[in-house]
Amino acid sequence: MSLATHLPILPVVIPALAAPFALLVMRRRRRLGIAIAIVSCLALLATALTILAQVADGTVLAYAVGAWPAPFGIALVADRLAAMMLVLTSLLALIALIHAVVTRADRKGWHFHPLFQFQLMGLNGAFLTGDLFNLFVFFEVLLIASYGLMLHGQGPARLKAGLQYVVVNLVGSSVFLIALGMLYALTGTLNMADMGLRVAAVAPADQGMLRIAGLLLVSVFALKAAVAPLHLWLPRTYAVSTPAVAALFAIMTKVGVYSLIRVVPQVFGEGAGAAAWVPAPWLFPAAMVSAVIGFAGVFVARSMSEQASYAVIGSTGTLLIAVAGWREDSLGAALFYLVHSTIAAAALFLVADVTARRRGAFADSASPGPAFVGRGGIALMFMAAAIAASGLPPLSGFIGKLMILKSVAPLPHWGWAWGVILVTTLIGVIGFARVGSAVFWKTGEACDAPLIPALRRDLAAPALALALLAALSIAAGRVSAYAEAAAAQVLDPAQAAAAVLTEAAP
Amino acid sequence: MTYEFLVASAIGVLVAGGIFLALRARTFQVVLGLTLVSYAVNLFLFASGRLTIGKPPIWEKAVSDYADPLPQALVLTAIVITFGMTAFVVILALRSFLESGSDHVDGDTVPCDTQDGASDVTSHAVETGEDAA
């Protein structure tokens, strides 16, 4: 047994080891703790890239935890989609961590770094697991870490929003467990690949139960993804979180989307008999409504971080419009847009933070304030992030939206989809322009308040995020080809199921 | 009366009470409601392996008929997780109450004091005689 055979579990093990070590050393030697966190993130990135290289040709890495064969034990599955999400998570984590360290946001409380690592463990586990109950467990791991991170720095506003966030997610967890119980009672398995093979054999009398279980499961994922009408918790939560944390949270809604993409074709796909594609008719209208609500929120937001939160909802909506087609090309376009929109949302949060840090009492509110140091550079950054988030050329949002528009064209409701995507893009552009002109143009003369000294270093993380977006635009061809291959693999679950159920045997 | 009916009605009553409480405006009631719902969920998970009486949950060669062990493992995990989460939300609710001076879920000042009665000592709106209705 070499290390290479244990590759799929490393993204879970590395942060799980780094977190307690960081916890132990943080109290006395802060720098060592930070070093552990950064090394862990770099190791995660390296591992994710290695996994990506191994699965790029279409192999499915299945790992049986504890060497229990697949339907009985817990299986970890790394395919193209999971590898892509792992790379995205580790890149985003690196950006958020750099920002937290540089702006000293990690010093406002004791346990930022351990919580951050546990959050990564939960995220990576959720992307890798091939078992529905384990998906629940990793959801809880990432959620409880996110509660801690969200409350990091404290203050009444954060506590109020945090309480709502926790309560909403507890309700979501209960519904998740109910759906799991129903699915287990009906199919007798919790392994996703195995369940996919067994749903077709569910007795006709139980089809109603199966449909309800599927819809409950999908509604939980929709809650995590903040799809309308289950999005109400998101803007307040994200807008009051520490910006570095909010940037990391940009991937949390994508966990919901990922779970949808993973579970629906595998369990409720073509082979599911009468329950095939149960959630499909609900997803499309919900996605359109959340795209509209999200970009309407971008239009009316009162601060830059609130605007970024609504941009997250809007981009998830746009993403799900493409996902709801459940076709290879639309899913491929969606996956490309998923990568893009995650990084773009993170860039928006970080730019909002560097702006707020220079405007003193005005923070990041969308009202004209005093002139501040380094305005030009930050204005350019905001413009780039806004271009990316709303989907204008030349950044990758434009490519993503174009691919989505092209891929939904053969679908029956393509007119609605085109209308919503194009109009929301316009609304988004106007909203970003409004906030940008208020914050960066209408600045008065430097008032009597002293200018806050510029700290150039804090521009590093947003610049890194924007550089990633630029790289994504340049490499769009290769990334979209990969995304399409990943989509094809997701929509053909039989091959993955074979790999999981046979290869995982010792 | 069968066991199935007993378990099913117990789950139903717990969920109904839990949802009622969870929709209330004050954090303590919401937490109680969530606890009830999580009890119901645990019972439900346990019942998902079919109800059996007097059967061992471990496979042995001598035993031909055994209870499904997996739901019991699931329930154990779920109990631990929901217990931890409930403890967390209790502390969070307390902290939020202490910092913001209000135990309302949306954190704003007391819109429904009148219906909760004057016995509530924590509500300062009653003390000041302010009537939000």
Question: Which of B48, B85, B99 lies closest to A185 in CB terms?
Answer: B48
The better pLDDT of the pair A216, B126 is held by: A216
Which chain B residues are within 8 Å of A155, Cβ to Cβ?
A: 99
Q: Which H or E run contains A62?
A: strand A61-64
Mutation target for A interface from B42, B51, B74, B82: give the one with most A CBs within 10 A.
Answer: B74
pLDDT at A40 over 90: yes
Which chain A residues are within 8 Å of B88, Cβ to Cβ?
A: 144, 147, 166
Provide the phi-psi class of B107: left if phi over 0, else alpha when psi is between -120 and 50, else beta.
left
Identify the CA nearest to A210 among candidates A228, A226, A193, A196.
A196
Question: What's the confidence (pLDDT) of residue A453?
Answer: 60
B36 in contact with chain A, both atoms CB, cutoff 8 A: no
What distance in Å separates the CA atoms of residue A235 and residue A147, rounded to the nearest whole number? 15
Question: What's the confidence (pLDDT) of residue B131?
Answer: 43
Question: What's the confidence (pLDDT) of residue A223?
Answer: 92
| CA quadruple A490, A492, A493, A499: dihedral, nearest 10 | -100
- At A46, the pLDDT band (50, 70, 90 cuts) reads very high
B67 in contact with chain A, both atoms CB, cutoff 8 A: no
Question: What's the confidence (pLDDT) of residue B124?
Answer: 43
Question: Which of A140, A163, A180 lies closest to B92 in CB terms?
Answer: A163
Question: What's the confidence (pLDDT) of residue A342?
Answer: 93
Question: What's the confidence (pLDDT) of residue A12?
Answer: 92
**Above pLDDT 70, what percent of chain B?**
78
pLDDT at B120 over 50: no
B17 in contact with chain A, both atoms CB, cutoff 8 A: no
The better pLDDT of the pair A30, A171 is held by: A171
pLDDT at A445 over 70: no
CB atoms within 10 A of CB B133: 7
Region of poorest pLDDT, from A62-76, A383-397, B14-28: A62-76
Which chain B residues are within 8 Å of A160, Cβ to Cβ?
A: 96, 100, 106-107
How far from each other are the two terminal CA atoms of chain B, in whole angstroms?
48
- At B121, the pLDDT band (50, 70, 90 cuts) reads very low
A296 in contact with chain B, both atoms CB, cutoff 8 A: no
Q: What is the pLDDT of residues A483-503, one digit of tens each?
A: 989 988 888 887 777 777 775
Which chain A residues are within 8 Å of B99, Cβ to Cβ?
A: 154-156, 159
B81-88 mean pLDDT:
88
Question: What's the confidence (pLDDT) of residue A451?
Answer: 57
- Mean pLDDT of all residues belonging to chain A: 86
What distance in Å separates the CA atoms of residue A283 and residue A97, rounded to the nearest whole number? 34
Which chain A residues are within 8 Å of B22, Cβ to Cβ?
A: 167, 171
A25-47 mean pLDDT:
89
Token readout for A77 is 């599955």
Beta-carbon contacts below 8 Å between A and B: 92
Region of poorest pLDDT, from A42-46, A328-332, B99-103: B99-103
Question: Which of A137, A155, A166 lies closest to B88 in CB terms?
Answer: A166
Which chain B residues are within 8 Å of A147, Cβ to Cβ?
A: 88, 92
Q: What is the DSSP string of A347-390?
A: HHHHHHHHHHHHSGGGTTBSS--B--TTHHHHHHHHHHHHHHHH
pLDDT at A116 over 50: yes
